[in-house]
Amino acid sequence: MSTPQSTPQGLPDIIRPYGDTTGDAMVQVSFTLPIPHDKRAEGAALQLAAKMGLAPALLVHAKAMGSDFTFFIVYGSVSHLVDLREVVVIEREFPMLSAKDVNAAIKKRLGRKLVVVGACIGTDAHTVGIDAILNIKGFAGEKGLEYYTEIKVVNCGAQVLVPELVARARAEKADAVLVSQVVTQKDAHIHNTMTMSAAFREAYPAGKVPLLVIGGPRFEQGSAAALGVDRIFGKGTTPGEVASYLVHAIGAGQVVAPSGA
Amino acid sequence: MSAVRPPSPAKPKLELDPAVIRKARALARKAGAPVVKLARTHTTVSVERAVLRLAGLTGADHEGVPWVNHLVDAVRGEVGLELGVSIPVFDALRRGQAPDLLTLAQKSAAGSVSFHLPQGRDGSAAKSLALRSVKPGMARIDKNRSTRDRLIKRHGNPKQRPWIYLIVATGDIYEDIPQAQTAAREGADIIAVIRSTGQSLLDFVPEGATREGYAGTYATQENFALMRAALDEVSKELGRYIRLVNYASGLCMPEIATLAGLERLDMMLNDSMYGILFRDINPIRTFVDQRFSRQIHARAGIIINTGEDNYLTTADAVEAAHTVTVSQLMNEYFAKEAGLQDWQLGLGHAFEINPEIPDSLRMELAQALLARQLFPKAPLKWMPPTKHMTGDVFRGYLLDGFFNLVGAMTGQDILLVGMMTEAVVTPFLSDRDLALQNVRYVLNAAGGLAEDFHPPVDGFIQTRARQVLFEAVDLLEKIVNDVGEPGSVPLLQAISDGTFGLMKRPADAGKGLDGVVKCAPGYDNPASTLLEAGTKK
């Protein structure tokens, strides 16, 4: 699904950043160096800029922050070229459906409601992500999954323990489990997700695990397999995308009859 | 007493009907009173552990389980907590089961202590020993309060208003300390050490200095002491008393409030409903813990910060504006009932209206003025935008500037400094520096605007504020009339119906429910006895 593509018609293959003139390659960066502000510090900032490919670089602002740090803003022409032919885009592997089509597809393919259990796991207490997807209020003008007549939503809220989540998913006979990880430190989102996927694999017979879907701004696209989940959604995902994906995944045979059903 | 506000401005800026305001407060009292009754007739494991902490029991076993937890669990397992932990514990000491509390706790963890519920004279003797034993802890809290007053007199309060509130959160107390000192040198008046996000759901307070936390640093007695000492040092250097904030919330609210009093923290986040709504902590547990913790805060001279800003992160800031007002009124009622004074009520609100909608700034001004006028003597806490920070840091910097402007124009007291990298990364050193420049510029350029700014009678701002107040009164009426089964508590009913922040929290569910105990006749809590007897005035 992710292949290098030929550049769409009308765009050049090679581009440079645009400041105020085509080809000027101007960019702006800001950073802090852990040294006092003096001439040497400014030289150090320019050295860093040069190593980042900014030539010529213009140090437009340098300010001491306390006695040990200096903040810099640098403008400069960047020597790197961007080759659009080498840009890799992960295409959405499923078509976007309207709420009506989602409901119709679930009815046709499952003959019952699709059950979605959602939670924030680990120490993360920030439910904004999961709520945006699940709550009827939704996100970006799109209603959440609760709005879909053929989807049953169980929102477990924040700081749900993994065993609780597994138990709830089993009790509700979940077709899909949505887990959000917004605030994270020291890769907690990775550890939490792997713990979660391992727990589901342990609790369910092989092939019967519900769809595991995670969302959050820090997940790397393409790491789903490594994390043991079916799909990752990043920042800005709308409920409609998630619903469309779920329908697609049912069609693709990833949803099996829940155990006991 | 360290009054936080100067005399309030002569002329109110909004024409609010005093009768409507009186009605709002009367409804808040009506909604709150049954909850207070509930709080008075229950105790929790954390309240009982707080009593033991006041009696001087500290430390933990080799696995980090605090001795107060061991002792409360042992007592509960053997004789229950219906009469409180102190009667059986101090009776055991009187019977010579152990020479001191620590040894008793250690022996109880090994199961080698038997607890009784003494009757008659033995019972009274255990009670009076308990009372004598918590007095030194209470005396330390009182002494810290006078020390704070003395240091404020010596070093002085911030020269400007609002006071500038900054967060540090590295997870490592030894990293936090230099960051906090730097922040103070660069203009922060109040330093909040944000907690590790998991801590609210721990049913114990970790021990010792900690270096590992998630998105924050654990609240421990040792961390409190280390940070307070570091800020005392920098207060002296700067000639300005730097206040320290932490969080009395979550399952250990009473114990953390107690530790804050023992280590001279100056402000504590302490909301009446936050834990219920956003942490799914059992409502009764929360209200019982909250009342005790607020009594401690009242005694310790600590300013509480309430969490109304949080409602607006889940609900819409325009549609749900009145829920903020309702929560402020409830927080005020519960706080005053627990003995807190006006100058200790850091009621919260936030700049969270979607900047894309027309007149968003005017609505922010209306809401901020409404809070200012409803609570003229309270040190209001003004929270920066978070929900509509998009990752466009340049736009975010402008939003924060407008937030600062509204804070200056409406006379807010505690201004939490907004970061342009909100929702992007934990703030860089430079983000904090830029944020402080933003605050300084706005206060310097427009700090005096509060004097000039008088929204026209019946104009947009006045009308909007009145509308929010009316909606708040409506909602309070709905809550008071939300009667379920006989004997049910209307506010709890409203919480379980999802009235606040759109979250439904039934009274018989939630975390920490198993730590709630109904008091039996004869229940004794020596700390409450001292707290109810009255704060040192």
Highest mean pLDDT among A91-95, A116-120, A243-247, B128-132: B128-132
Kindly indicate whether the domain formed by A14-84 is annotated with CATH number 3.30.30.60: yes
Q: Given CB atoms, is A69 within the 8 Å cutoff of chain B?
A: yes
| Residue B511 C-alpha, separation from nearest chain A C-alpha, in angstroms | 10
Query: In chain B, what residues touch A125 (CB-CB under 8 Å)?
Result: 197, 200, 278-279
| Residue B217 C-alpha, separation from nearest chain A C-alpha, in angstroms | 12
Confidence of residue A252 (pLDDT cuts 50, 70, 90): low
Nearest to A150 by CA among A175, A176, A98, A115: A115
Residues 6+ apart with CB under 8 A from B222: B207, B208, B209
Q: How far apart are CA B335 and CA B329, in angstroms?
A: 10
Q: Please report the pLDDT score of residue A120 as a whole number.
A: 86
Query: In chain A, what residues touch B389 (CB-CB under 8 Å)?
Result: none
**Structural domain tally of chain B?**
2
Confidence of residue A253 (pLDDT cuts 50, 70, 90): very low
Which residues, in sequence order, are bridge partners of residue A74? A29, A59
Q: In percent, how much of chain A has pLDDT > 70?
A: 87
Q: Given CB atoms, is B314 within the 8 Å cutoff of chain A?
A: yes
Of B171, B182, B197, the CB nearest to A125: B197
In terms of domains, do B277 and B390 share one? yes
State which residues form the domain around B291. Answer: 18-32+162-460
- Return the number of other C-beta atoms located less than 10 Å from residue B147's C-beta: 12
What does DSSP say about strands B414-416 and B381-383: parallel, antiparallel, or unpaired?
parallel
8 A C-beta contact, residue B189 and residue B165: yes
Q: Which of B460, B486, B516 is the last residue of a domain?
A: B460
Query: In chain A, what residues touch B215 (CB-CB under 8 Å)?
Result: 123, 183-185
8 A C-beta contact, residue B186 and residue B439: no
Cα-only R_g, chain A: 24
Confidence of residue A60 (pLDDT cuts 50, 70, 90): very high
| Residue B294 C-alpha, separation from nearest chain A C-alpha, in angstroms | 24
Q: What is the ipTM of this complex?
A: 0.82
Q: Do the chains contact at A65 and B433, CB–CB below 8 Å? A: yes
Helix (H, G, I), strand (E, B) or coil at B29: helix
Rounded-to-5 percentages of helix, strand, coil across chain B: 55, 10, 40
Q: Please report the pLDDT score of residue B4 as a whole number.
A: 45
Query: In chain B, what residues touch A135 (CB-CB under 8 Å)?
Result: 502
Beta strands in B267-418 (DSSP E): 267-269, 303-305, 345-346, 348-350, 381-383, 414-416
8 A C-beta contact, residue B263 and residue B179: no
Query: In chain B, what residues touch A127 (CB-CB under 8 Å)?
Result: 278, 314
Q: Given CB atoms, is A77 within the 8 Å cutoff of chain B?
A: no
8 A C-beta contact, residue A64 and residue A36: yes
In terms of domains, do B380 and B400 share one? yes
Give kind and range of the element (H or E) at residue A193. helix A188-203
Give, rounded to a whole angstrom, the gap between the first and last alpha carbons of chain B: 9
Which has more confidence, B497 or B353?
A: B353
8 A C-beta contact, residue A48 and residue A31: yes
8 A C-beta contact, residue B308 and residue B350: yes
Q: Given CB atoms, is A64 within the 8 Å cutoff of chain B?
A: no
Q: Scanning every residue of chain B, which has its alpha carbon at the shortest distance from the alpha carbon of A124?
A: B197
Which has more confidence, B402 or B314?
A: B402
In terms of domains, do B283 and B407 share one? yes
Q: Given CB atoms, is A66 within the 8 Å cutoff of chain B?
A: yes
Q: Given CB atoms, is A186 within the 8 Å cutoff of chain B?
A: yes
Question: Domain with B26 in it: what CATH number?
Answer: 3.20.20.440
Of the residues A185, A187, A192, the best mutation for testing chain B's interface (the one with the most B CB atoms within 10 Å of its CB) is: A185
Cα-only R_g, chain B: 23
Q: Given CB atoms, is B215 within the 8 Å cutoff of chain A?
A: yes
In terms of domains, do B27 and B47 share one? no
Q: Given CB atoms, is A184 within the 8 Å cutoff of chain B?
A: yes
| Mean pLDDT to the nearest integer, B164-174 | 91
Please report, as a single letter, which amino acid is at residue B328: Q
8 A C-beta contact, residue B481 and residue B466: no
Confidence of residue B335 (pLDDT cuts 50, 70, 90): very high
Q: How far apart are CA B130 and CA B101, in angstroms?
A: 11
Q: pLDDT (tens digit, 9 = 90+) per residue, A197-238?
A: 999 999 999 888 999 999 988 888 778 888 999 999 988 788
Q: Given CB atoms, is A67 within the 8 Å cutoff of chain B?
A: no
Question: Considering the domain boundaries, does residue B321 fall inside one?
Answer: yes
In terms of domains, do B237 and B130 share one? no
Question: Considering the domain boundaries, does residue B496 fall inside one?
Answer: no
- Return the number of other C-beta atoms located less than 10 Å from residue A167's C-beta: 12
In terms of domains, do B188 and B87 share one? no
In terms of domains, do B188 and B310 share one? yes
> Taking CB atoms and an 8 Å cut-off, how many pairs form between chains A and B?
60
Q: How far apart are CA B490 and CA B507, in angstroms?
A: 11
Which residues, in sequence order, are bridge partners of residue A151? A114
Of A63, A123, A125, the CB nearest to B278: A125
In terms of domains, do B105 and B185 share one? no
Query: In chain B, what residues touch A137 (CB-CB under 8 Å)?
Result: 316, 502
What does DSSP say about strands A211-215 and B42-44: parallel, antiparallel, or unpaired?
unpaired
In terms of domains, do B90 and B231 share one? no
Beta strands in chain A (DSSP E): 14-15, 26-33, 54-65, 69-78, 82-83, 114-120, 151-155, 176-180, 211-215, 231-233
8 A C-beta contact, residue B294 and residue B304: yes
| Mean pLDDT to the nearest integer, B5-24 | 79
**Token pair belonging to B194:** 């944000």
- Return the number of other C-beta atoms located less than 10 Å from residue A135's C-beta: 22
Q: Given CB atoms, is B214 within the 8 Å cutoff of chain A?
A: yes
Query: In chain A, what residues touch B171 (CB-CB under 8 Å)?
Result: 185-186
In terms of domains, do B23 and B57 share one? no
In terms of domains, do B438 and B368 share one? yes
Of the residues B168, B185, B197, B279, the best mutation for testing chain A's interface (the one with the most A CB atoms within 10 Å of its CB) is: B197
Q: Which of B412, B445, B460 is the last residue of a domain?
A: B460
| Residue A158 C-alpha, separation from nearest chain B C-alpha, in angstroms | 7
Q: Given CB atoms, is A188 within the 8 Å cutoff of chain B?
A: yes
Q: How far apart are CA B278 and CA B256, in angstroms?
A: 19
> Is residue B387 flagged as an active site residue?
no
Of the residues B392, B428, B429, the best mutation for testing chain A's interface (the one with the most A CB atoms within 10 Å of its CB) is: B429
Q: Do the chains contact at A66 and B314, CB–CB below 8 Å? A: no
| Mean pLDDT to the nearest integer, B125-133 | 98
Residue A259 reports pLDDT greater than 50: no
Question: Considering the domain boundaries, does residue B117 fall inside one?
Answer: yes
Residues 6+ apart with CB under 8 A from B67: B57, B58, B59, B60, B61, B101, B102, B105, B106, B109
Q: Please report the pLDDT score of residue A124 as a whole number.
A: 66
Question: Considering the domain boundaries, does residue B472 fall inside one?
Answer: no
Q: How far apart are CA B307 and CA B279, in angstroms?
A: 13
| Residue A6 C-alpha, separation from nearest chain B C-alpha, in angstroms | 30
Confidence of residue A256 (pLDDT cuts 50, 70, 90): very low
**Token pair belonging to B148:** 């704070």
Topology given in CATH for the domain delimited by A99-251: Rossmann fold (3.40.50)
Q: Do the chains contact at A32 and B185, CB–CB below 8 Å? A: no
Q: Scanning every residue of chain A, which has its alpha carbon at the shortest distance from the alpha carbon of B313?
A: A128
Q: Please report the pLDDT score of residue B14 as a whole number.
A: 94
In terms of domains, do B340 and B441 share one? yes
Q: Given CB atoms, is B172 within the 8 Å cutoff of chain A?
A: no
Query: In chain B, what residues touch A161 (CB-CB under 8 Å)?
Result: none
What does DSSP say about strands B348-350 and B345-346: parallel, antiparallel, or unpaired?
unpaired
Which residue's structure tokens are 């003597």?
B377
Of the residues A33, A67, A123, A156, the best mutation for testing chain B's interface (the one with the most B CB atoms within 10 Å of its CB) is: A123
Q: Scanning every residue of chain A, which has its alpha carbon at the shortest distance from the alpha carbon of B311?
A: A128
| Mean pLDDT to the nearest integer, B208-227 | 92
Q: pLDDT (tens digit, 9 = 90+) per residue, B445-469?
A: 999 998 899 999 999 999 999 999 9
Q: Please report the pLDDT score of residue A1 as a whole number.
A: 42
Give, rounded to a whole angstrom, the gap between the first and last alpha carbons of chain A: 34
Name the A residues in 44-63 with CB < 8 Å from any B CB. Answer: 63
Q: How far apart are CA B265 and CA B270, in angstroms?
A: 13
Q: Please report the pLDDT score of residue B510 as a whole number.
A: 85
Residues 6+ apart with CB under 8 A from B226: B173, B177, B209
Q: Which of B91, B189, B266, B309 is catalytic?
A: B309
Q: pLDDT (tens digit, 9 = 90+) per residue, B484-516?
A: 777 788 999 888 887 776 667 888 888 899 999
Orientation of helix B86-94 relative to helix B101-109, angle to 10°: 100
Q: pLDDT (tens digit, 9 = 90+) per residue, A124-152?
A: 666 667 877 887 766 666 778 888 889 99
> Is residue B511 flagged as an active site residue?
no
Q: Which of B134, B149, B183 is the last residue of a domain?
A: B134
Of B387, B428, B502, the CB nearest to A32: B428
Of A71, A122, A137, the CB nearest to B433: A71
| Mean pLDDT to the nearest integer, B510-530 | 96
Highest mean pLDDT among A153-167, A199-213, B75-89, B305-319: B75-89
Q: How far apart are CA B381 and CA B371, in angstroms?
A: 10
Query: In chain A, what residues touch B200 (CB-CB under 8 Å)?
Result: 125, 159
Q: Please report the pLDDT score of residue A140 as a whole number.
A: 64
Mean pLDDT of chain B: 92
Q: How far apart are CA A112 and CA B100, in angstroms?
A: 64
Instruction: Quote the pTM value.
Output: 0.84
Domain ranges of chain A: 14-84, 99-251
Q: Scanning every residue of chain B, which has its alpha carbon at the shortest distance from the alpha carbon of A132?
A: B314
Question: Considering the domain boundaries, does residue B227 fall inside one?
Answer: yes
Residues 6+ apart with CB under 8 A from B273: B286, B327, B330, B495, B500
Q: Mean pLDDT lowest for which of B72-81, B237-246, B495-504?
A: B495-504
| Residue A252 C-alpha, separation from nearest chain B C-alpha, in angstroms | 34
